[in-house]
Amino acid sequence: MLKCCTASSFLRFVIYLSFIFIFNSESGIAKDVNSSMQKANEYYRNAEFDEAINIYERLRSEGYNGTSLYYNLANSYYRIGKLGYAILNYERALKISPSDEDVKHNLAFANLSTVDRIQPLPTFFLFEWWETLLAVSSVNGWTYAAYIFFIILLLLIVLYFFARTIFQQKIILFSGLATLIVLVLIVSLLVVKINREQTVISGVIVEQSTTVKTSPDPNSTDAFVIHEGLKVNLEDRLDQWVKIKLADGKVGWVENGAVEKI
């Protein structure tokens, strides 16, 4: 008589089927995304920018993001004259890939068309260097760098104990100290980057012209006027209003639809 399968065998069979289902599902999803991206790119090449935007925005609303998605979406918005949305999506692409030269070039080019010329508050040159260093990579980039230098440090520690001469030990020791210093610097940058992304929220004005109010009330005093494409910090929210801060220190309130979070 044939024996029935055991509980452990059945469990392994269920896990195996689950892995197959998950793998096939992810493969199918990735295939659909690639197909949609190709379709949108084809619309863009044919100068059918509205159709391309519809597909890119649908992918974004479904939770997909990536440098190419935001970059292509920004290019499409720029082509139809929506400067604010173009700069918004260039900024989103740059947030993912801070060192992407194409994104930086197009963002700088788009910024030339903005109306507002806000002079930022002066800062100490060391702070400027620190900001430049922070902007070199994203959170993921600094995380990968930290892992790499941590592994190198562990390897150097192991090599130190297997060194055959004092000279080799000295070389490994100095290399280890240098690696440790770089690792501490990278971890510091990573911590600051994570903290900043959690506390400093940036946005872009997407309406052609927006009157900033002194308080979250349509009847309050007009503070100043700003235009699409201007990058601001989002300080607070109250009902349908957002408190913004400009690079020169000015603050005020705008309606929700006037600004989009990066």
- Over residues 148-197, the pLDDT tens digits come to 999 999 999 999 999 889 999 999 999 999 999 999 999 999 999 898 88
Under a CB-based contact definition with an 8 Å cutoff, are residues 212 and 232 in contact? no
Q: What are the boundaries of each domain within the chain?
A: 13-111, 125-199, 201-261
pLDDT in tens, 115-150: 998 887 777 777 778 888 888 888 889 999 999 999
pLDDT of 132: 84
pLDDT in tens, 60-90: 999 888 999 999 999 999 999 999 999 999 9
User: What is the band of 17 on the pLDDT scale with cuts at 50, 70, 90?
Assistant: very low
Q: Which of 8-12, 38-42, 228-232 has the lowest mean pLDDT?
A: 8-12
CATH architecture of 201-261: Roll (2.30)
Bridge partners (DSSP) of residue 232 are 203
CA–CA distance, 180 with 176 (Å, rounded to integer): 6
Token duo for residue 214:
């002194």
Mapped onto helix, strand or coil, the DSSP state of residue 252 is strand
Q: What is the topology classification, in CATH, of domain 13-111?
A: 1.25.40
Neighbours of 150 (CB within 10 A): 15
Q: Please name which of 48, 43, 45, 38 lies closest in space to residue 68, comparing C-alpha atoms.
A: 38
CA–CA distance, 194 with 207 (Å, rounded to integer): 30
What stretches of the chain show up as alpha helix (H) in DSSP? 7-45, 49-61, 67-79, 83-96, 101-111, 125-134, 139-162, 166-199
Indicate yes or no: pTM above 0.95.
Answer: no
